[in-house]
Amino acid sequence: MRRKVTIAAVCVAVIAAVVFAAAVSGADGRSASSRTAARLASQLGLGSRMTATLLLNGGFPSSWVSAAGGETPPHQLEWPLPGRRLGRGFGSDGGRHEAVDVTAPEGTKVRCMAPGIVGYAGDELKGYGKVVFVVHSGGWVTLYAHLNELGARPGQRLVTGEVLGEVGSTGISKGPHLHFELLVRGARVDPMKHMHGAPDNVNRVSWNDQTSTPFYSMVNSRSASATPPTKTTTL
């Protein structure tokens, strides 16, 4: 009888210890992954408005590149959205638009284009609305703007295809779309030159009444060129 009581007491003690550990680990209301990301962000100095400025200008420390995977850049970028309509391509608007805009329904999941670490996620940059910056190996940085919801946090490690937010129309925007950029040490580069895939059915969307907005030829795995489709309704 005494032995049964002892075993029962040990079981109760073990259960209590487990419950206590779980309570302590979740005392701040965050998961283990969230705390890990927060620690890394604190160690590297990620997550502030200054971080975003450094990422835009290319003046960030080498420690960020090391944390993102080293000096070798990604082999390629994966398309961040399911097949949708192209708004504006890199170099449109007389060369002023150094990014790619793709329209999609609000709430569409936006996915990371290559492995990396989140450098910034917030809404402190004028015009971009809710935006996520991801630092990749080789000093590459991808930027995802006008998001409706942020699905990643500074210091979080992302793999290719992992959700980092949702399409929205925050900031200076004329409708739900994803604005994404590729920066290499502060220089904006055409991301489509490094893209592995593109939407199967691409339609140009005119964002204004002007007809001079150029169609951006997007190359997918099955074709080396794209023929401009019929112009769609102005958003």
Residue 86, in any domain of the structure: yes
- CATH code of the domain covering residue 116: 2.70.70.10
CA–CA gap between residue 191 and residue 110 (Å, rounded): 16
Residue 9, in any domain of the structure: no
Residue 39, in any domain of the structure: no
Residue 33, in any domain of the structure: no
Tally of domains in the chain:
1
- Give the angle subtended at the CA of 116 by the CAs of 112 and 119, to the nearest 5°: 95
**165, containing H or E segment:** strand 163-167
By CB neighbour count within 10 A (0-12 exposed, 13-18 middle, 19+ buried), where does 161 fall? middle
First to last CA, the chain: 79
Residue 38, in any domain of the structure: no
The pLDDT tens digits of the residues spanning 43-94 come to: 999 999 999 999 999 999 999 999 999 999 999 999 898 865 666 666 565 6
Q: Is-contact 132 147, C-beta < 8 A?
A: yes
Q: Which residues contact 165 (CB under 8 A, 6 or more apart)?
A: 109, 110, 121, 130, 132, 144, 147, 148, 149, 150, 151, 152
Range of the domain at 126: 46-235
Residue 34, in any domain of the structure: no
Residue 52, in any domain of the structure: yes
Confidence of residue 192 (pLDDT cuts 50, 70, 90): confident
pLDDT over threshold 90, residue 125: yes
Residue 13, in any domain of the structure: no
